[in-house]
């Protein structure tokens, strides 16, 4: 099963909340309360999202956290990568790690193709798309065929 990490999922929840209230600033404790995430988790995620420039922060009474850019300019891939690092569906797709079978593996090129398709799909879904999406709706992505990747 391909699965997004729990922390990347929580980061998306946090970012969706900020997108729903774009233009407003929220303290870490307010975000934790409104999203029902634990404060240590929210603090850890906010630091990572700030570091990669997806959020901004201001100190003071009117300060807090807010999106660094419009929700239609923040891809889900950017959020996941901020938390989990580069998108990789298998070990051979990770830049730093290598599988012991990599040199003789017949499926490596196939996994690279699958990884490109997953990354491409996540780059085509933006934070704005995550706002109030009815559970009955289906997102249709315009993915290129494997021959053009």
Which residue range forms the structural domain that includes residue 73? Answer: 6-132
Output the CA torsion 65→122→136→45 (10° steps): -30
Tally of domains in the chain: 1
Contact 70, 76 (CB under 8 A): no
Structural domain contains residue 65: yes
User: The domain that contains 123 carries what CATH number?
Assistant: 1.10.10.10
pLDDT tens by residue, the chain, 149 residues: 678 899 999 999 999 999 998 888 999 999 999 999 999 999 999 999 999 999 999 887 777 999 999 999 999 999 999 999 988 887 665 555 566 666 667 676 788 888 899 999 999 999 999 986 555 555 555 555 444 44
Q: What confidence score (pLDDT) does residue 87 get?
A: 87
Structural domain contains residue 137: no
Structural domain contains residue 149: no
Q: What confidence score (pLDDT) does residue 100 get?
A: 64
């Amino acid at each position: 099963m391909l699965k997004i990490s729990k922390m990347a999922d929580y980061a998306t929840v946090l970012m969706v909340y900020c997108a729903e209230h774009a233009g407003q600033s929220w303290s870490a404790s307010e975000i934790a309360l409104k999203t029902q995430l634990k404060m240590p988790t929210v603090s850890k995620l906010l630091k990572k999202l700030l570091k990669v420039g997806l959020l901004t922060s201001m100190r003071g009474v009117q300060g807090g956290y807010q999106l660094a850019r419009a929700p239609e300019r923040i891809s889900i891939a950017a959020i996941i990568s901020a938390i989990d690092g580069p998108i990789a569906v298998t070990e051979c797709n990770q830049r730093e790690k290598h599988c012991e079978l990599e040199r003789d593996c017949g499926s490596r090129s196939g996994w690279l193709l699958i990884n490109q398709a997953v990354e491409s799909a996540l780059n085509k879904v933006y934070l704005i798309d995550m706002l109030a999406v009815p559970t009955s709706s289906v997102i249709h992505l315009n993915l290129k065929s494997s021959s053009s990747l």
